[in-house]
Structure 1
Amino acid sequence: MADLGRPSLHPTVGQRAGGLVRGVLGVLGVLARLVIGLIVAVLVVHIVLVVLGANPANAVARAIAGLADSLTLGLGDLFVLANPTVQVVVSYGLPALVWLIAGGVVVGLLRLLTRPRSGLA
């Protein structure tokens, strides 16, 4: 006769599947955090290069500028400002902020989904 008061030593199929799903979601959270971090880093590096006066004809500066241009989410020319340096800071800083906020929401949701369930509900 089974003892109903004591938990089983062997996980059920549902518990194993739940653990697998939580593991996959955890990995997705780490990957999302990494990708968002890289995107924001590219945008910030581009801002720093422009503010410090990097040579725009340099291959590295051109590559980062091209990559940064593709990551602005269409916000690159949202505001037109008189000062070109401030224009770059706003044009690339705003998308970096949007990426950070959106990435934080996605990672937060994934983290919420990876929490183990209490089994009481």
Structure 2
Amino acid sequence: MAVERAPPGMADLDRRPRSGNPVTGAVRGVLGLVGGLVRLITGLFAAILVVHIVLEILGANPDNGLTQFIASAADSLTLGLANLFVVGNETAQVLLSYGIPAIAWLVIGALIVAVLRVAARPRSGLA
């Protein structure tokens, strides 16, 4: 009669003490969800700015409803960084005025997610 053996390291799996309590696990789950939402929203803001750059550079019809919507949204997402640098080239001006805020939104999102990950990290219990 053959005896089935568990893979190495798996034999004591059921006897290991559980780490943390359910409340801590729930808080970590909520912080993970919030981090995902932050990443989604800041990524969406950056995408709107990039779409506006592309529409401007390609010369999209400024009377088109979609173009107007994207331009309006992009103008409200510049974080006050539009026209931070004034250059003579119109294409470069659009790239700087909307590209810098797009990068800023991605950095802001990454920083918030990093803080949430640190807050969600399990504590050792040692003070």
TM-score bracket, normalised by the shorter chain, equals 0.7 to 0.9
Query: How many pairs are equivalent?
Result: 112
Are residues 1:64 and 2:70 paired? yes
Deviation at 1:20, TM superposition (A): 1.4
Matched, 1:32 2:28: no
Of the two, which has the highest radius of gyration? Answer: 2
Query: TM-score, normalising length from structure 2?
Result: 0.80
Partner of 1:41: 47
Mapping of residues 68-83 of structure 1, within 5 Å: 68-83=74-89
Letter in 1 for 2:102: A
What is the CA deviation profile of residues 48-69 of structure 1, one whole-angstrom value per residue up to 9, with x for unaligned ones? 1111111111110110000000
Per the normalisation by structure 1, the TM-score is 0.83
2:11 alignment partner in structure 1? none
How many angstroms apart in 1 are the aligned matches of 2:72 and 2:119?
36
Instruction: Report Cα offsets for 1:65-112 as digits up to 9, x if no partner.
Output: 000000000001211111111111100000011111111111111122
Q: Give unpaired runs (5+ residues) of structure 2.
A: 1-14
Shift of 1:31: 0.3
| CA shift for structure 1 position 36 | 0.6
Moved more, 48-57 or 65-74: 48-57
Q: Percent identity?
A: 54
Structure 1 gap ranges (5+): 1-5
Q: Which amino acid aligns with 1:29?
A: G
